[in-house]
Amino acid sequence: MGGTSGQGRQAGGTPRAALADLLAGNRRFVSGQPVHGHDVTAAAAASGDQQPYAVVLGCIDSRVPLEAIFDQTFGAICVIRTGGHVLDRAVCGSIEYVVGQLGVPLVMVLGHERCGAVGAAVDALRTGQRPGGSLAYLVDEIAPAVTEAGIDDPAVHPLAIRRHVRRTVHTLREDDLLAGPVAAGRVAVVGGLYDLATGEVALLDPG
């Protein structure tokens, strides 16, 4: 893709280059000038090999399609989405595979404003009513971020969204198979926040 894809696309690229590529894609998306928007065709899908340079873990929210908001073509990024980007073994195993087997140097955890999954955890803690079924698992996994943010804080929802991203980043950095590459600097795990109003992705400091 010529000048639109940088060093992060090369095998063995650095986390820094991968992050620069990802954020450059978001800037193209925000500016209304995506270069891959027209590539959403079967022909484009069949045209290339897989050489992903990043894996993005995001929420299932229908307003946050990850390939689109980073203006990425087929084969460029691996995407995992769960409610409130909650981790489980399948998610961690998938990230371990992408990092360990495909050599991807960057993992981004992307939260977003007005996240309904985080809202459900806030509601559950406020009312004391834990949902049934497997939804309880999502709420339980997000609840510590809500507690840290402070259930009585008027801004608990946006604060908990940020806390939850940071907690997810920390958990992944300590993952059995990720901790070594992270400590060696071969892999970076970063947190980001998507603004539904502007389309911008902002990096969150580790906090």
* Binding region for Zn ion (CB under 5 A) out of 9-17, 93-101, 112-120, 163-171: 112-120
59 is a contact residue toward Zn ion (CB under 5 A): yes
- Of the ranges 41-49, 52-60, 121-129, 195-203, which one interacts with Zn ion (CB under 5 A)? 52-60
Does the protein bind Zn ion through residue 61 (CB under 5 A)? yes
CB of 44 to Zn ion, least distance (A): 28
CB < 8 Å & 24+ apart, contacts of 131-137: 137/86, 137/88
- Which residue stretch of 34-42, 96-104, 108-116, 126-134 sits at the interface with Zn ion (rule: CB under 5 A)? 108-116
Please give the order of strands across the beta sheet that includes 54-59.
77-82, 54-59, 106-112, 188-194, 201-204
Query: Helix (H, G, I), strand (E, B), or coil: what is residue 186?
Result: coil
Nearer to Zn ion, 121 or 178 (CB): 121
Beta bridge partners, 204, equal 191
- Cβ 59 to Zn ion shortest distance, Å: 3
> In the structure encoding, which two tokens stand for residue 86, read together?
């909650």
> Is residue 109 involved in binding Zn ion (CB under 5 A)?
no
- Residues between 114 and 133 that touch Zn ion (CB under 5 A): 115, 117
Q: For the CA atoms of the chain, what is the radius of gyration?
A: 17
Interface residue list for Zn ion (CB under 5 A): 59, 61, 115, 117
